[in-house]
């Protein structure tokens, strides 16, 4: 979508750690701590490649400790960021916004505040095109 809409599409990521997944909140906190070093997306991608690997069965604290090392993050800074109340506040804000927006699970996608129901690239592009045409009016 970004390649097709480089000048009009902006991706905004919001945290919505599910309560039913005991490692979701620590994963969100770790990703936000990586963000403090400008490495959110790298952490995010590594996290998802880690948990979808057939050789690994679950996300645990060991994985969350290993990923920042694999990414070469400044570990003292990373560990300090994990304790920053601003990260906790940001995640809580994201959760509130998600609940207010009707998020019930993850991942959830929105285009200009409208929830994406069909996730095919064509359907998403159609929503983007509709949003662009409304903006142009």
Residue 53 has a pLDDT of: 76
- Share the mean pLDDT of the chain: 91
Angle at 129 between CA 127 and CA 131, to 5 degrees: 70
Residue 42 has a pLDDT of: 97
The architecture of the domain spanning 7-106 is 3-Layer(aba) Sandwich (3.40)
Parse the chain into domains and list their residue ranges: 7-106, 107-137
**pLDDT over 80 at 135, yes or no:** no
**pLDDT over 70 at 57, yes or no:** no
Residue 49 has a pLDDT of: 86
Residue 43 has a pLDDT of: 96
For residue 28, the Cα-to-chain-centroid distance in whole angstroms is 8
CA distance 127 to 116: 8
Instruction: Place 89 in a pLDDT band, splitting at 50, 70 and 90.
Output: very high
Cα–Cα nearest to 112, from 9, 38, 14: 9
- The residue-averaged pLDDT of 7-11 equals 88
Cα–Cα nearest to 79, from 33, 43, 37: 33
């Amino acid at each position: 979508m970004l390649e097709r809409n480089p000048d009009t599409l902006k991706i905004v990521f919001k945290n919505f750690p599910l309560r039913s997944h005991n490692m979701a909140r620590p994963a969100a906190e770790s990703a936000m701590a990586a963000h403090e070093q400008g490495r959110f997306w790298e952490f995010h991608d590594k996290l998802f490649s880690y948990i979808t690997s057939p050789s690994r069965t679950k996300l645990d604290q060991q994985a969350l400790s290993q990923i920042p090392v694999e990414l070469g993050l400044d570990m003292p800074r990373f560990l300090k960021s994990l304790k920053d109340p601003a990260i906790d506040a940001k995640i809580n804000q994201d959760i509130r916004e998600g609940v207010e927006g009707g998020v019930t699970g993850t991942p959830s996608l929105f285009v200009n505040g409208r929830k994406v129901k069909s996730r095919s690239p064509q359907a998403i592009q159609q929503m983007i095109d509709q949003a662009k045409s409304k903006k142009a009016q």
